[in-house]
Structure 1
Amino acid sequence: MRATHLLYLHGFRSSPQSAKARLVAGHVASHHPDVFLWCPQLPPSPREAMALVADGIAAWPQGPGMAVIGSSLGGYYASWVARQARCASVLLNPAVRPERDLARHIGEQTAWHDPEARFFFRPEFIAELQALDVSGQPPAGPELLIAARGDELLDWREMVERYPQARQMVLEGGDHALSDFPAHLEEALRFCNLA
């Protein structure tokens, strides 16, 4: 069975306008026109973000009928979603310990693609992140990890250690944004087994 539904989850301060999200959308539209792609704008609250996603995919086919791609904080979320939906996940420089890494970002933030758009990252969001941690549980579906050694924000070694059962692509150099994602796009989508 091939996946007919694909979910893309953006990272912290990011949006559906990110370069990777737009690349995925363009490729799916031209090569997999029958696949339904959803890339929601996630609210700052992790609890609200996952409630939005859970509601949005409630009617989707579970298991091999869907797949999820997540970048950075979206990768952390993708692991939670894949656990609920028992589907394949592709993790792009995923956040492994966001409750630790985002603690210093409590306060007002600007959106990456629209500096005029502001949001507030609240102290209680740290506990909400912790509540979504599935790192101690075996994966419920196939996982592909794409991690860049040159990631300037997150430690690729933590990613490799967090996903021991994943198929791992550790890239030499690179950056947190995965600027060379176009070179890995087809492989990532092939892993999703799209219809």
Structure 2
Amino acid sequence: LLLQMVAAYQKQYRIGLVGSSLGGYLATWLNAQFSCPAVLVNPAVRPYELLADFLGEQQNPYTGERYVLDHSHIKELKALDVPVIHNLDQFWLLQQMGDEVLDYRQAVAKYQHARQTVEPNGNHSFVDFERYPQQIIQFLNL
């Protein structure tokens, strides 16, 4: 779906990506496909490793919807991995060291040559994110 959406609109619009957590992982993959600039907020770097501990029936904490996470999902996530990023100038990492879900050091290392804003404390939801929208719009050149 994401491939179709970007392909359909990239000729008519400037596209910039903003992704948090798994969305950051997907934004990295989309950047590899289309070279769209991306802002990554506490991004997952290897979600296929993290989610392997959650195989089985799960419940969406926001909607209550139940679903089953299985090995095929882990395989699909691994297939989206971008082991080498070639255009780090198109990335801005917004990372908080207090992320209780993901090890912030993985993202800092993976995007080490990209623009980075690494803040102490915070959490996975990125505390005080509202400080950044204007800067994000500028970075994405939207």
Q: Could you state the TM-score of these two structures normalised by the residue count of structure 1?
A: 0.68
Secondary structure (helix, strand or coil) at the match of 1:75 reads helix
Aligned twin of 1:159: 107
In 1, the alpha carbon distance for the partners of 2:10 and 2:46 equals 30
In 2, the alpha carbon distance for the partners of 1:67 and 1:112 equals 28
Runs of 4+ in 1 over 3 A off after TM superposition: none
Aligned twin of 2:98: 150
Aligned twin of 2:118: 170
Report if aligned partners of 2:88, 2:111 keep a CA contact under 8 Å in 1: no
Report if aligned partners of 1:87, 1:140 keep a CA contact under 8 Å in 2: no
Aligned twin of 2:32: 83
Tell me the number of residue pairs that the alignment of Structure 1 and Structure 2 aligns.
141
Report the residue type matching 1:70 in the other structure.
G
In structure 2, relative to structure 1, the CA distance for the partners of 1:55 and 1:167 (3 Å cut) is same
Shift of 1:179: 2.7
In 2, the alpha carbon distance for the partners of 1:188 and 1:137 equals 20
In structure 2, relative to structure 1, the CA distance for the partners of 1:141 and 1:112 (3 Å cut) is farther
Aligned twin of 2:132: 184
Aligned twin of 1:113: 62
In 2, the alpha carbon distance for the partners of 1:54 and 1:123 equals 23
Report if aligned partners of 1:83, 1:140 keep a CA contact under 8 Å in 2: no
Pick one of 17, 32, 37 that aligns with 1:68. 17
Shift of 1:118: 1.5
Secondary structure (helix, strand or coil) at the match of 1:99 reads helix
In structure 1, stretches of 5+ residues that fail to align are 1-51
In 2, the alpha carbon distance for the partners of 1:171 and 1:141 equals 20
In 2, the alpha carbon distance for the partners of 1:100 and 1:188 equals 29
In structure 2, stretches of 5+ residues that fail to align are none
Percent sequence identity is 39
Aligned twin of 2:3: 54
Report if aligned partners of 1:143, 1:165 keep a CA contact under 8 Å in 2: no
Pick one of 86, 89, 92 that aligns with 2:41. 92
Shift of 1:100: 0.7
2:53 paired with 1:104: yes
Per-residue CA distance 1:91-149 (angstroms, 9 max, x = gap) = 0000011111010111122223212x122211111111111111223137610000101
Report the residue type matching 1:131 in the other structure.
A
